[in-house]
Structure 1
Amino acid sequence: MKFSKMIEEMRTVRDYKKEPVSPNLIQEVMDAGKTAAGIAGGRNVSILFIDHGKEVFDQLSGKAGYYGKMVEAPHYLVITSKVFPNYLENSGYIMELMRLKSRELDLGTCWLSVEDEGTLREILGIGGEEKITAFAAIGHSYKGIFKHDMSKQSTRMGLEEIAFLKRWGSPCTLEDLEARGLTNIFYYTRLAPSWGNRQPWQFIIDKDRILLTIQKEEREDLRLDAGVVMLYFEKSAHDDGLPGNWKLDIPEDMKAIYGIPEDRTLVGYYSI
């Protein structure tokens, strides 16, 4: 399925059937994550599949979930990672890639936050020094008549709100995007999910590079959101015939050159 078509259909699923997912389907999802190169100069991650969903759900109430509410699912996916520069962005990128693969296989998923990592490690039996970076529910979505419809997409920023031209604060119009062949790419990039629909990202377009900034992280999951939007931009660009890749080694003076304010973090830039 074409990436643009897939992300238009992406939804967060919080109601699941109790029946387990076929091992073959789970393996396809896991393979999508395990074969991904990531975006931070090497994988350095492990992907865990949690089969006993009901038991984990009962134990994690109040310790993980979505807005403090644990989501019951037959299975869960967990990413653990070594700590290195951009390790959270890398984990967000890989987990969202697995969510997209799940959607392709007609499975539902939901990002979950980790409020108490120590307890989660104990419950899941995770040892070692790797950090738990990403956590998601996975299963067959349940659309019973007594369930509320949670499938509508949240509102998104307009195209003219998401990007600046050449320097922070300099407006980028629809005509500017169209002249550079970026309209479709940014249209689909803005559909990227973020925690609480915060949409913490904004871009700066300059010649052969497109810079990504996010709000200074009040909490670490903003950096997961950055990894997610990097995946959406990359896939949208490749779909639209614009090859390139993300560069995360940023020159020290780049933030000053582009006038990026102190309350923003410069994550990296997409090199065309």
Structure 2
Amino acid sequence: MDVSVIDLIEKRCSWRSFSGASLPVDAKQKMEEFLADPGTPPFRSQTRFELVDAGVDGAKRVPGTYGVIKGARDFIVGVVKPGPNNLEDYGYLFEKAILFATALDLGTCWMGGTLRHTIFAEKIRLQKDEVLPCICPVGLRAPRKTLVDAMFAAGAGSKKRKAWPELFFHNDFSSPLTQKAAGEYSTPLEMVRLAPSASNRQPWRIIDSDSGFHLFLTRNKAYKNIFKADLQRIDMGIAMCHFELSAREKGLEGRWTESDPKISRTPERTEYVATWEINR
């Protein structure tokens, strides 16, 4: 992308109402090229993504989207095979695709749920050993958002984000990390804070230590079994994408590893995910 990923993260918002038109030819070609090779995810899971036409003409509601997407013809659809950290990898690459679409000035909206028996599974030729956790409409926005958009935004509190002391810590979970103390990493952490998440639960927690930044998932106990796919693990991949891309934009080099710091007194329902190991 030839634009700032930090600007894209700050610009992106969910859009559920579209014009009903197909993607412009140039934008469609660029989107298809990106999805054909979105890069290698941190844990190297087997994924594939396609841009599919839902076959809906005009500003109609799209079947298979729970009645909330209107006027979208094109969708980003991705699948992943089973494996360790496969959903984190899926979220990481899917968010890259959404940010790429944002760079093309297209509207998008994360959608996760039960999608195996929808038109999207048929369009991407879903295999028995693949999981289809999410889809995303992508297209020209309608002139204004609908009542459905407003209801979803209000219900999820989409513009509300947890404060730094609730999300970021130094050495352990008892010592909140300030933006001043985070120094040059304050921007990547802020980009994590702004990341989208299922029902805006914001399940990520990050501990800063001498060895790097340790990413944890703090689960909402009522959320894990709502859908077949563990959407909060996908949220962690989104956080990893925001952190890495914005860190690299700032010239802060590192890599994702699995180096569990074995933090004592970990909060309830909190589990280790990955570590951003700083290149020193």
* Counterpart in the other structure of 2:16: 14
Question: Please, which of 248, 269, 272 is the counterpart of residue 266 of structure 1?
Answer: 272
Aligned-partner SS, 2:176? coil
Q: CA deviation at 1:111?
A: 0.8
1:172 and 2:172 aligned: no
Q: CA deviation at 1:50?
A: 1.5
Mapped partners of 1:237, 1:161: distance in 2:
21
Mapped partners of 1:32, 1:122: distance in 2:
20
* Counterpart in the other structure of 1:135: 135
* Counterpart in the other structure of 2:243: 233
Mapped partners of 2:118, 2:22: distance in 1:
25
- Following superposition of structure 1 onto structure 2, how do residues 70-81 of structure 1 map, counting pairs within 5 Å? 70-72=68-70, 73-81=72-80
Change (3 A) 1:106 1:182: same
Mapped partners of 1:33, 1:270: distance in 2:
25
Deviations 1:37-88 (A, max 9, x none): 333442511112221342896542xxxx4xx544131111111111111111
- Residue pair 1:92, 1:134 contacting (<8 A) in 2 also: no
Structure 1 unaligned segments of length 5 or more: list them: none
- Residue pair 2:61, 2:67 contacting (<8 A) in 1 also: no
> How many residues of Structure 1 are paired with residues of Structure 2 in the alignment?
259
- Residue pair 1:165, 1:205 contacting (<8 A) in 2 also: yes
Mapped partners of 2:28, 2:236: distance in 1:
26
2:51 aligned partner, one-letter code: F
Deviations 1:221-266 (A, max 9, x none): 001111001100111111222111211x345xx33x4542351121
1:28 and 2:16 aligned: no
TM-score, structure 2 as length reference? 0.82
Mapped partners of 1:53, 1:264: distance in 2:
42
Structure 2 unaligned segments of length 5 or more: list them: none
Q: Greater shift after overlay, 103-112 or 131-140?
A: 131-140
Once the two structures are aligned, what percentage of the paired residues are identical? 25
Q: CA deviation at 1:4?
A: 1.3
Aligned-partner SS, 2:75? strand
- Residue pair 1:208, 1:271 contacting (<8 A) in 2 also: yes
TM-score, structure 1 as length reference? 0.85
Mapped partners of 2:259, 2:51: distance in 1:
34
* Counterpart in the other structure of 1:52: 54
User: What do you get for the CA RMSD once the two structures are aligned?
Assistant: 2.6
1:243 and 2:253 aligned: yes
Runs of 4+ in 1 over 3 A off after TM superposition: 55-59, 118-125, 146-153
